[in-house]
Structure 1
Amino acid sequence: MKLIKDLLSIFFPDLCINCYSRLLEKENHLCTICLNDLPVIVFNDVIKKMLKSIFYGKIPIEDIYSFMYFTKNGITQKLIHGLKYKNQENIGEFIGRRICYEITKLQIFKNIDAIVPVPLHKSKLKKRGYNQVDYLGNILSVHLNIPFMSGVLERESKSKTQTRKQRFERFSNSGRKFFIPNIEYLENKHILLLDDVITTGGTLISCSEELLKVKNIKISICTIAYTEKG
């Protein structure tokens, strides 16, 4: 078995997802150099206030966290692309463990009752076969001992891919795209809404507007990444 593994590593070596150099035995996804270059957000009150300001006057949120900065063609984009389009579940585990470590260190999200992912439209889910945020949600659920509730929030209709739209169009087209099949499941709960990237905040706002119809609900937000580019 080891011989087969060794032969495979010769002809099909594991490569760094960012620089494509050959990974050493104990390296996963990223080489040590790229891992050290991971654009982790140094989280503090200033960063938290800046992230919360995206949602001021739109939705009330209890707390917020984002793990990395997102830049075009950067390490974060490549990690998310592997998770989102290549079904690399182990990337979700890698990111999830890192996020768990950071939020535990920061002592945030202490009173969360459930983790809820931003859903995919059913046609995208059928085509892709999975929701990339579910991978992350399951890891957070296990390590933080918080129930993961996939399916309690659903997407109502498919629209053009958000990443291809201008800021105004995103906001005008993001509303009323989600629904909650069983509202009673979320009543009186503080939920952690989970997504991959914050850009304009349009999708998270749209989800939250629907969630806020639930009796006595509180919402906090966690994402893999944040980008300043709308």
Structure 2
Amino acid sequence: MLKALHLYLTNFLSLIFPNLCPACGAELVVNEEIICTNCRYNLPQTNFHLQADNIVARQFWGKLRLEGAYALYYFTKGGKVQNLMHHFKYKGMHKIGNLMGDIAGVQLSKNEIFAGVDYIIPVPLHKNRLRERGYNQAACFAQGLAGQLNAVVEENNLIRTKATKTQTKRSRFARFENMKEVFTVANAEKLKGKHVLLVDDIVTTGSTLEACAIPLLEIPGLKLSIATIAYAE
């Protein structure tokens, strides 16, 4: 009786306040959560977990010493992944990050490089931006990944020491200059000899990830990999 009443109320409320898929805008039906079934299986996946020399990895060749690099989806302007990321970053839908992490984690758990990750470190937000947004989208992604990789999210070890201006429309060089000496490690001892997965929401030029990686790679014995939700050319 109570179960039937709950279902009735849920269906009634969905008529007034329909739950829409943040990627395509379609109304979610019963048993669909966060994104619709069609988007869950048809968003443009990269399969970079199957390609050691994928596009993301090549971005860092000659710059960073990485074990592996990965992005879950291709990001195209005006596409469904852009819609998804907009809702994730600016509409308060932090659960999107958890779901994306879970989906990505299933793929990465099948790759021996990523399966050996000890710690997952999200790219940190400056405290002012964190206060404004209410959550760190990279941390949400990290939490979803951790459940599949049996790794620990290390959220407060990599510190952003100063706020930076938006990276939009900057060249790669300008982006890197904007990010120089922005990040520092609080407890390097804890990460010695560990395999760390550095994660963010989107990788474009890779400047932010590179700036984060530099102080991490100064730690003796640390192995570093990178993962993001999306890759934008």
TM-score normalised by length of structure 2: 0.90
Match in the other structure for 1:172: 177
Match in the other structure for 1:70: 75
Match in the other structure for 1:12: 17
Q: Matched residues in 1 for 2:141 and 2:38: separation?
A: 24
- CA contact 1:48–1:65 (8 Å) conserved in 2: no
Please say if 1:39 is aligned against 2:48. no
Please say if 1:79 is aligned against 2:84. yes
Please say if 1:163 is aligned against 2:168. yes
Q: Matched residues in 1 for 2:77 and 2:169: separation?
A: 14
| Percentage of matched positions with identical amino acids | 40
Deviations 1:62-120 (A, max 9, x none): 11111100111211122222222222132122211211121123444122111111101
- Offset, 1:46: 5.1
Q: Matched residues in 2 for 1:226 and 1:26: separation?
A: 29
- CA contact 1:16–1:23 (8 Å) conserved in 2: yes
CA distance 1:16–1:64, shift in 2 (3 Å):
same
Q: Report SS of the residue matched to 1:161.
A: coil
Please say if 1:117 is aligned against 2:131. no
Deviations 1:33-75 (A, max 9, x none): 4334301113366573432221112111111111100111211
CA distance 1:22–1:151, shift in 2 (3 Å):
same
CA distance 1:216–1:98, shift in 2 (3 Å):
same
Match in the other structure for 1:145: 150
Please say if 1:23 is aligned against 2:28. yes
Q: Report SS of the residue matched to 2:110.
A: helix
Structure 1: 5+ residue stretches without partners: none
Match in the other structure for 1:190: 195
Match in the other structure for 2:205: 200
Q: Matched residues in 1 for 2:223 and 2:157: separation?
A: 15
* 1:22 aligned partner, one-letter code: E
Q: Report SS of the residue matched to 1:224.
A: strand
- Offset, 1:14: 1.0
Q: Matched residues in 1 for 2:50 and 2:134: separation?
A: 38
Structure 2: 5+ residue stretches without partners: none
CA distance 1:45–1:34, shift in 2 (3 Å):
closer
- Offset, 1:212: 1.6
**Aligned counterpart for 2:109 among listed residues 85, 95, 104:** 104
Please say if 1:50 is aligned against 2:52. no
* 2:168 aligned partner, one-letter code: T
Q: After the TM superposition, which parts of structure 1 deviate over 4 Å for at least 4 consecutive aligned residues? A: 44-47
- CA contact 1:152–1:185 (8 Å) conserved in 2: no
* 1:168 aligned partner, one-letter code: F
Match in the other structure for 2:214: 209
**Aligned counterpart for 1:133 among listed residues 123, 138, 144:** 138
Deviations 1:164-222 (A, max 9, x none): 42222112222111011222121221101011111111011101111122122111111
- CA contact 1:138–1:148 (8 Å) conserved in 2: yes
* 2:191 aligned partner, one-letter code: L
* 2:93 aligned partner, one-letter code: Q
How many residue pairs are counted as aligned between the two chains?
Answer: 228
- CA contact 1:71–1:227 (8 Å) conserved in 2: yes
